[in-house]
Structure 1
Amino acid sequence: MAGNVEDEFAKAGLSPKHVEGYTNANWILIDYEDVIVHVFNEDDRLFYDLERIWRDGKIVNVEEL
């Protein structure tokens, strides 16, 4: 899934400034500066619950970038 995210951003001409987490693949973070992509396995997603923390954040489609 994270690879597909990077592919779609690349199609839009964007490359990440930093990527981490591919080694254990529990939580992959892809940093595009203005957009941060988090890809979790199910257990870590439930544990960290970023949707609750960022509930007031703006949701953006890649086409809008």
Structure 2
Amino acid sequence: MKEAICAAASEKKARDIVTMDMRELTPTTDYFVVCSANTATQVRAIADNIEEKLAESGAHFLHKEGYREGEWILMDYGDVVAHIFRQEAREYYALEHLWADAALTPYED
């Protein structure tokens, strides 16, 4: 699922896509997928594409928030949580630093 999320984000030109291995750090999810975009419109387009592509394979998110604002959209798929940020919000919240113990894997399409 994390690869499908990364691929769907990449299709909409998401930048700096990484997966974070959260299995040893939190019981709530296995992976974070983190990416960024330049505008709120692009953030929403990335989220829409993730939702559409995963729905095609029968996967539906459990929870989504932040869509209206388009600064940081969180999509919870259970084992994987996608975080789609506007670049400034990503720098401000710095999930990669907050969860510095998580192994980071850059996505390469």
TM-score band w.r.t. shorter chain: 0.7 to 0.9
Aligned residue for 1:47? 92
Secondary structure of 2:68's counterpart equals: coil
**1:8-27 equivalent positions in 2, closer than 5 A:** 8-27=53-72
Unaligned runs of 5+ in 2: 1-45
Structure 1 ranges of 4+ moved more than 3 A: none
Which letter does structure 2 place at the counterpart of 1:49? A
Shift in alpha-carbon separation, 1:24–1:51, aligned structure 2, 3 A? same
Match of 1:37 in 2: 82
Amino acid of the residue matched to residue 51 of structure 2? Answer: E
Q: TM-score, normalised by structure 2?
A: 0.48
Higher strand share: 2
Give me the TM-score of the superposition, normalised by structure 1: 0.76
Residues paired across the two proteins, number: 60
Mind listing any 5+ residue stretches in structure 1 that lack a counterpart?
none
Give the Å deviation of 1:9. Answer: 1.3
Cα shift at 1:57? 4.2
Pairwise CA distance, 1:15: 0.2
Aligned-residue sequence identity (percent) comes to 38
Deviation, 1:5, is 1.0
